């Protein structure tokens, strides 16, 4: 085990730049990504607390004045990445993308603070306040009607960019005429593992529309070509709000607004539960349609720690049927589903961050199952390496190698102090 632990640390250190860490050491992702950074900070916290806080602080340096924390920060302007900083054409102190990603920061921060004593309380308070501002941005602009659930306005905001969850909402989007751009991703890794051109055209069309509207969050909730209430994103946000609330109380900071929103979300998210099929489903606000794709991210609801024990129990039963014949789990999409693809990213393969999130959600609800998820995840990485994603039938690794969050979360699973 020691050998693999050292290797995981080496992956992170190898990808580290000044104050932040790349998702991988090849050219696929030459910038800082929002939720990657959260997971990466957690990994560092097991062996270098300074680097963990550097990661978080650098991400927050990119926070916009209105509170948004972008999904990408372009520290290095000289790369072949598409869409790069000039295509997005925005950012505050640091050039950035104009959208966000799953807000895992509060969750990671709480986890790190639970296990470490930090002397400089003022520094921690200032981080917590910035995270609160980020959550307020999500509440204000992504849920302007104060319903308790937030929307994402681009598939990239989910973090599971190419998931079949987005196939239906994307279909209604008219691809911009004379779209000119050059993808970089499919030159770096096998195009069979990456999104199809037609999907990319749609991503770019939505992005261009956001830019044309100067990323004005007030306007875009109504006018964006894509507006979906995603179970996975909302589950992460609910968990993050619960953890933020805990931190605000602990550090004697104002917490009323967050407390109210947690109560509201807890009730509202249950509306996305389909009692008949015992699954959670997404809601496409733009087209007023349910999205019933069997995505593993719908089980992030376990991470949100709903008080409703019956729903938790039923969801775990459904989760146990997500992968039956497959040797490695969890596949990102249930393998008997029509749009399942074995190799293409987010359309079938196993992702370590999804397993980690679900494992955290299962820990106090079904210990035996949780333990199995944990050890199977550790074994998968041990046998196949620190890759971006894996084949659910064979374990074969795909995508980027030396992938930071795979290394980080592997470390966290192994070094977690107590398994309870």
Return the DSSP state at 201: H
Q: How far is the CB of 33 from ligand GLC (least distance, A)?
A: 4
Q: How far is the CB of 386 from ligand GLC (least distance, A)?
A: 13
- Residue 312 or 391: the one with the smaller Cβ distance to ligand GLC is 391
- Single out the residue of 8, 11, 23, 298 in contact with ligand GLC (rule: CB under 6 A): 23
Distance between CA 402 and CA 417 in Å, rounded?
Answer: 25
User: Could you say whether residue 195 binds ligand GLC (CB under 6 A)?
Assistant: no
Q: Which two tokens stand for residue 188?
A: 């770096």
Q: Least distance (Å) from ligand GLC to the CB of residue 161? A: 4
Q: How far is the CB of 31 from ligand GLC (least distance, A)?
A: 8
Note if 243 is an active site residue. no
The string of DSSP letters for 3-50 reads HHHHHHHHHHHHHB-SSSB-S-SSTT--SEEHHHHHHHHHHHTTT-HH
Which listed residue (230, 326, 388, 412) is catalytic?
388
CB 81 within 8 A of CB 184: yes
Measured distance CA(75)–CA(18) in Å, rounded: 9
Stretch that binds ligand GLC, among 29-37, 92-100, 166-174, 333-341 (CB under 6 A): 29-37
Least gap, CB of 78 to ligand GLC (angstroms):
19
Residue 233 is a binding residue for ligand GLC (CB under 6 A): no
CA separation for the pair 302, 236 (Å, rounded): 10
**Considering only 30-38, 39-47, 316-324, 410-418, which stretch makes contact with ligand GLC by CB under 6 A?**
30-38
Contact flag: residue 300 with ligand GLC (CB under 6 A): no
Residue 203 interacts with ligand GLC (CB under 6 A): yes or no: no
Please give the Cα distance from 261 to 110 (Å, whole number): 19
Instruction: Please identify the residue of the shown chain whose CB is closest to the bound ligand GLC.
Output: 23
Say how many C-beta atoms besides its own lie within 10 A of residue 139's C-beta: 22
Exactly one of 15, 16, 21, 35 binds ligand GLC (CB under 6 A); which one? 35
Q: Which of 21, 25, 32, 36 binds ligand GLC (CB under 6 A)?
A: 36
Kindly give the residue spans of alpha helices, DSSP state H, lying in 224-351.
Answer: 231-250, 256-269, 309-319
Using CB under 6 A, which residues numbered 148 to 187 contact ligand GLC? 159, 161
- CB of residue 152 to ligand GLC, shortest distance in Å: 12
148: phi then psi, degrees, rounded to nearest 5: 105, -10
Convert 305-330 to b/e letters by CB count within 10 Å (16 or more is b). bbeeeebbebbbebbeebbeebebbb
User: CA 248, CA 38: separation in Å to the nearest integer?
Assistant: 19
Please choose, from the candidates 315, 329, 298, the residue with its C-alpha nearest in 3D space to the C-alpha of residue 158. 298
Closest to ligand GLC by CB, 273 vs 299, is 299
Is 29 a binder of ligand GLC (CB under 6 A)?
A: yes
β-pairing, 72-73 vs 90-91, is unpaired
34: nearest Cα among 148, 185, 156? 156
Q: Which stretch binds ligand GLC (CB under 6 A): 28-36, 169-177, 203-211, 370-378?
A: 28-36
Segment contacting ligand GLC by CB under 6 A, of 31-39, 82-90, 141-149, 365-373: 31-39
Catalytic residue among 55, 143, 161, 243: 161
Q: Give residue for tokens 């602990």.
A: 250
The CB-of-143 to ligand GLC minimum distance in angstroms stands at 22
Residue 161: active-site member? yes
Residues known to be catalytic? 161, 388
* Chain positions contacting ligand GLC, by CB under 6 A: 23, 29, 33, 35-36, 159, 161
């Amino acid at each position: 085990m020691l050998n693999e632990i050292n290797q995981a640390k080496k992956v992170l250190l190898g990808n580290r730049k000044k104050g932040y860490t790349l998702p991988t050491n090849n050219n696929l992702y030459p910038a800082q990504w929002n939720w990657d950074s959260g997971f990466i900070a957690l990994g560092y916290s097991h062996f270098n607390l300074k680097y963990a806080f550097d990661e978080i602080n650098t991400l927050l340096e990119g926070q916009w004045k209105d509170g948004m924390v972008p999904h990408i920060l372009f520290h290095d302007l000289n790369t072949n990445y598409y869409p790069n900083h000039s295509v997005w054409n925005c950012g505050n102190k640091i050039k950035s993308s104009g959208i966000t990603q799953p807000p895992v920061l509060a969750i990671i921060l709480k986890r790190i603070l639970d296990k470490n004593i930090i002397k400089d309380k003022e520094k921690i308070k200032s981080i917590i306040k910035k995270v609160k501002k980020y959550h307020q941005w999500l509440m204000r602009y992504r849920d302007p009607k104060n319903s308790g659930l937030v929307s994402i306005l681009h598939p990239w905001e989910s973090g599971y960019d190419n998931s079949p969850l987005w196939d239906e909402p994307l279909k209604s989007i008219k691809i911009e005429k004379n779209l000119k751009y050059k993808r970089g991703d499919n030159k770096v890794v096998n195009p069979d593992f990456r999104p199809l051109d037609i999907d990319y055209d749609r991503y770019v069309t939505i992005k261009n529309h956001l830019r044309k509207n100067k990323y004005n969050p007030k306007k875009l909730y109504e006018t964006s070509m894509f507006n979906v209430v995603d179970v996975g994103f909302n589950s992460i946000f609910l968990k993050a709000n619960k953890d933020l609330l805990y931190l605000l109380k602990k550090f004697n900071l104002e917490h009323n607004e967050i407390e109210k929103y947690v109560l509201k979300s807890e009730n509202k998210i249950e509306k996305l539960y389909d009692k008949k099929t015992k699954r959670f489903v997404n809601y496409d606000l733009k087209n007023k349609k349910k999205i019933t794709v069997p995505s593993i991210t719908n089980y992030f609801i376990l991470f949100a720690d709903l008080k409703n024990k019956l729903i938790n129990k039923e969801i775990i039963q459904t989760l146990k049927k997500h992968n039956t014949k497959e040797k490695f789990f969890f596949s990102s999409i249930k393998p008997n589903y029509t749009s399942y693809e074995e190799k293409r990213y987010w359309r079938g393969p196993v992702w370590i961050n999804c397993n980690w999130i679900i494992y955290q959600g299962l820990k106090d609800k079904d210990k035996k199952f949780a333990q199995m998820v944990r050890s199977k995840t550790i074994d998968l990485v041990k046998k196949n390496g620190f890759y971006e994603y894996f084949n659910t039938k064979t374990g074969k690794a795909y995508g980027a190698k030396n992938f930071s969050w795979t290394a980080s979360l592997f470390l966290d699973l192994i070094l977690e102090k107590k398994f309870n």
